[in-house]
Amino acid sequence: MNPSMLLQVSESVILKSAEMAEKDPHGMIITLVSVSVVFLALIILYFAYTLIGRTVNRTIDWKGLICRKTQTAGNDMPSPEETAAIALALDQELNGETYAAIGVALHRYLNDTVHDNESYIITIKRKKS
């Protein structure tokens, strides 16, 4: 079978393409509109995630659960960037299992799941004796 038989474009594509070639022969309009829409979509996401980030963190803060131990755990601990870079270097040199192990460790470290979360709220409760 001739490949061209199988690789035919649908009729709607042909029609729309011809229409666009007539309306916008240099492709400038479609470019301007498309770039604007891409930016618009990602700008909306930017605002959405900024808002969500603030709202969620405020909620957690209010509960006294926010914990930034990954940044303040001690000067001798590597920064998240360094840890990620170590994982990258090992990925290139070692096998996938090592990478996976480091990935899991990194994930837990960045999510602070290896530490206990402290509320930093001191309470005094009378102990029943």
Partner 1 sequence: MNTVIESLQQFLQYTGFANMTWQHIVMIFIGIAFITVAIKKDWEPLLLVPIGFGMIIGNIPFTEGLQIGIYEEGSVMNILYQGVRQGWYPPLIFLGIGAMTDFSSLISQPRLLLIGAAAQIGIFGAYIVAMLLGFTPAESGAIGIIGGADGPTAIFLSSKLAPDLMGAIAVSAYSYMALVPVIQRPIMLLLTTKKERLIRMKTPRTVSQKEKIIFPIVGFILTALIVPSGMPLLGMLFFGNLLKESGVTKRLAETARGPLIDVVTILIGVTVGCSTQADVFLTATSVKIFFLGLMSFVIATTCGVLFAKFMNLFCKEGNKINPLIGNAGVSAVPDAARVSQNVGREFDPKNHLLMHAMAPNVAGVIGSAVAAGILLSFLG
45 forms part of the interface with partner 1 (CB under 8 A):
yes
| Cα–Cα separations (whole angstroms), residue 32 to 25, 28, 71, 80 | 14, 6, 42, 39
| Min dist. Cβ of residue 58 to partner 1 (A) | 12
| Min dist. Cβ of residue 35 to partner 1 (A) | 6
Rounded to whole angstroms, the Cα distance separating 119 from 67 reads 8
Question: For residues 92 and 129, which CB has a smaller minimum distance to partner 1 in the complex?
Answer: 92
- Alpha helices for 26-95 (secondary structure H): 28-62, 69-72, 80-93
| Min dist. Cβ of residue 49 to partner 1 (A) | 4
Residue 63, classed as helix, strand or coil, is: coil
Site for partner 1 in 99-128 (CB under 8 A): 107, 110-112
Q: What angle do CA 35, 36, 42 make, to 5 degrees?
A: 90
| Min dist. Cβ of residue 126 to partner 1 (A) | 34
Residues near 12 by Cβ (< 8 Å), separated by ≥ 6?
none
Where on the chain is the footprint of partner 1 (CB under 8 A)? 1-10, 12-14, 16-18, 20-21, 24-28, 30-31, 33-35, 37-46, 48-50, 52-53, 56-57, 60, 67-68, 70-71, 79-82, 84-85, 88, 107, 110-112
